Structures are given as structure tokens and as C-alpha cells.
Amino acid sequence: MLKLVIGNKNYSSWSMRPWVLLRQAGIEFEEVKVRFDSFAPDSAFKRALARLKVAGKVPVLLDGDLAIWDTLSIAEYLAESFPDKHLWPTDRKARARARSLCAELHSGFSALRSHCPMNIEASLPEVGALVWRDQPGVRADVERLETLWGDALAEHGGPMLFGDFSVADAFFAPICTRLHTYGLPVSGTVAAYVQRVRALPGVQAWITEALAEQDFLAFEEPYRLKR
């Protein structure tokens, strides 16, 4: 059986991508959670990942003796392994567009990531208001999301970015949680898409388990002293 090594569900946006993809697609896997304690070289987290001989980050997909530690690589491996699940859009042009969106997310949106780290348990609209006021990079990132999501939804008719659920929706699921947590101002089209993504059974399962963790990590939450 496939194994997926992840970090804390409340904080680990990268782990959320393949977990939601697997769960929503109905692909059986075993979850292996490695709790964040710190990211220092001698931390329990880093020591656990060192035993896998990977990059020292989560997520990691294990298939027998094969370890895959990049979310795009994980998505491509799953799509090739389970072609019947149609994890990418079936239309060639839509598939190329979906890959482009995922690649842009993979390497971009640094301001939104930095100033609005994923925290599913929290409700931080007051932090979001300050970030929106003071961080033009965040405003630019959200404007780019408006364009990408708006164009895809208009072209393919929803409910997901390319019609049916795909890798692209799994990849943007953590962004949806950020927009919700920080209450960032978005258009009605984007807000409706965020609600639809959050309502997906795979996303709902992740959110439920994130809320159950009750694991406050101060180094992940510079904006509050306690939960």
C-alpha cells in the first residue's frame, strides 16, 4: 500500500496537497504523520525524515522502496499509476493549463505564503486586514488568483477549476484555507470557489483532523502567543 508522510495538518500546506488528492480520488494509502517540533537539524522531525533519505521536508510518498518528495512529482506519479482516476483534465489543452497553474503555485505566491501561513484552526481576520493594508505583494498575489481562477472557472464552467476535481484543485486547497483564515477580500466568484473546495469530502476530512490536533506550535504562529 502507498504511504504518505506528512506534517501537522493544521500547519502543513504542502502535506495537504497530495493528502487531499489521494483522499478525494479514493486512492487507498496509509498516513504517516511526523509532528513538527522544530526544523533544526537535530530535531525529531528532521531525524525522522533523514531515515527516509529524502530532502528533509514533507510530504513524502512511499511506494515500496521508492520515495518521492516533491508535490508535483507525487501528483504526476499518482496520475500515471492510477490513470482511471483522471487526476489531470482529460482534454490536452486543459491538462496543459492545469499543469501551468500548479507550476506557478509551486514556485510563486511567496508573499501570500509568507504573510498568511496556513493555520486551519485559527480565525485571523484582524491579521488579514493588516496584511492587506501593508503588504502590496499579498494584494498582487490575490489579484493573480482572481485572474487564474476566474478564467479557468469561466472557461470550464466549474464547479472546480477544470470542471471536475483535479490536481489543480488539490494544489490550491491550502490557498483556499488561507483566504478563509485571514478573511482576505475576494470577489464573489473566488469566494464561491473557496466554499466549494472547502466542502469537498477530502478537504473536509483534512480540516476535521486538523481541528482535532490541538497542537499549538509557537514557531508556526508568530502572530499570537497562545491558542
Per-residue pLDDT, 105:
96
Look-up of cell digits 486543459: 94
pTM of the predicted model as reported, rounded to 2 decimal places: 0.95
Q: Taking the mean position of all CA atoms in its chain, how far away is CA 198?
A: 12
Class of domain 2-85: alpha beta
Quick one: pLDDT at residue 97? Answer: 98
| Average pLDDT for the chain | 96
pLDDT for res 151:
98
DSSP output for 27-80 = --EEEEE---S--STTSHHHHHHHTTTS-S-S-EEEETTEEE--HHHHHHHHHH
The answer to whether 43 and 78 are in contact (CB under 8 A) is no
Residue extents of the structural domains in the chain: 2-85, 92-209
Element (H, E) at 173: helix 167-182
d(CA 93, CA 80): 18
Strand order in the sheet with 2-6: 29-33, 2-6, 60-63, 66-68
Distance CA 45, CA 222 (A): 20
Say what the pLDDT of residue 224 is.
83
Q: What is the pLDDT of residue 197?
A: 98
Whole-number pLDDT of residue 37: 87
- Residue 225 clears pLDDT 80, i.e. is over it: no
Q: Say yes or no to pLDDT of 227 above 90.
A: no
Residue 90 CB neighbours (<10 A): 11
At 158 the pLDDT is 95
- Looking at CATH, the fold of the domain delimited by 92-209 is given as Glutathione S-transferase Yfyf (Class Pi); Chain A, domain 2 (1.20.1050)
Place of cell 503588504: 135
pLDDT digits (tens, 9 = 90+) for 104-138: 999 999 999 999 999 999 999 999 999 999 999 99
Tens digit of pLDDT for each residue in 24-75? Answer: 999 999 999 999 988 888 998 999 888 887 888 999 999 999 999 999 999 9
- Using an 8 Å Cβ cutoff, are 193 and 148 in contact? no
Dig out the grid coordinates for 138 from the structure.
Answer: 499579498
pLDDT at position 31 is: 98
Identify which of 178, 190, 87, 205 has the alpha carbon closest to the alpha carbon of residue 143: 190
Instruction: Report how far residue 168's alpha carbon sits from residue 101's, in angstroms, rounded to the nearest whole number.
Output: 7
* Structure-block grid coordinates of residue 122: 485559527
Q: What is the per-residue pLDDT for 70?
A: 94
Q: Please give the pLDDT value at position 52.
A: 84
Q: Which of 130, 103, 127 shows the shortest CA–CA distance to 117?
A: 127
